Amino acid sequence: MTERDSQRVCRRFQTGVEFVPYVTWAVLSVLILAHIGTGLWDVGHNRTGWFGFCFGERSSPTLIAFGARTRWALQRDQPWRLLSYGMLHAHLAHLAMNGLALVGLGRIMESVFGGRRLLLTLLLTTLAGGAASQAGGAALSVGVSGGLFGLMGALMSYGLWHRSRLPTPLRELFGRRLAPWVALNLALGIPLAGVVDNTAHLGGLVAGVALAPTLADHLLDNRRPSEGMDRVVLGMNAALVGWVVLGLGLPR
């Protein structure tokens, strides 16, 4: 890559990062609304007070009612929980940590792949994380962290896949700067087993690594997303979201 090409790719990335990441903020808004909804449900059913609404842990019956992934629910033909669990969080600190990570990773992901592919990656890797959690034997799981590991995996995979074509600053960003964070978060999950769903993290990470090479990006030449691919991506997003919405409306 010539110096001129390198500067052009870096400018594209910088321009993308400076734009408002609409999809990232939309996803964060959904997570916040879902957390408010579970809190109000707990208050309305006398499971907590207003202090608990703000800072307390959401009750298991409420999380299950709103779509948490549980072993027995999936065994009773409720597979949509493999996605809906990602919208829910156990408490404010859980939501805050995942929300901050989503804003950071989502902004980068949107600048590289665009909003539609960010949403597709997040949905598919959350799904993979839920499937891994189910296979790993966790009784109940909530949180979008499996999808966040998927975003990290996708960005690392992109950096590795196109390392010969990326300018040095971006190659380091998607490699040496991001990889330690992934390793650190996986390592932190080991002593917190039982509190942190490590299998969901691994499932999302592997799915993200596998998915990234199939996605067109906005940075490198000759890899502009085609109109046909955009339609496929949008259709898959709509189908996955519809699957969750339909499942939430089914009697349990």
- Assigned token pair, 135: 């296979």
Q: Which residues of 147-169 are buried (b: 16+ CB within 10 A; e: fewer)?
A: bbbbbbbbbbbbbbebeebbbee
Any catalytic annotation for residue 145? yes
Asked if 199 and 135 touch (Cβ cutoff 8 Å), the reply is: yes
Any catalytic annotation for residue 59? no
CA-nearest of 219, 224, 222 to 166 is 219
* Residues contacting 230, CB < 8 A, separation 6+: 116
CA-nearest of 130, 162, 165, 163 to 146 is 130
Q: Which entry of 145, 162, 164, 218 is annotated as an active-site residue? A: 145
CA 207 to chain centre: 11
The residues annotated with a catalytic role in the active site are 145, 201
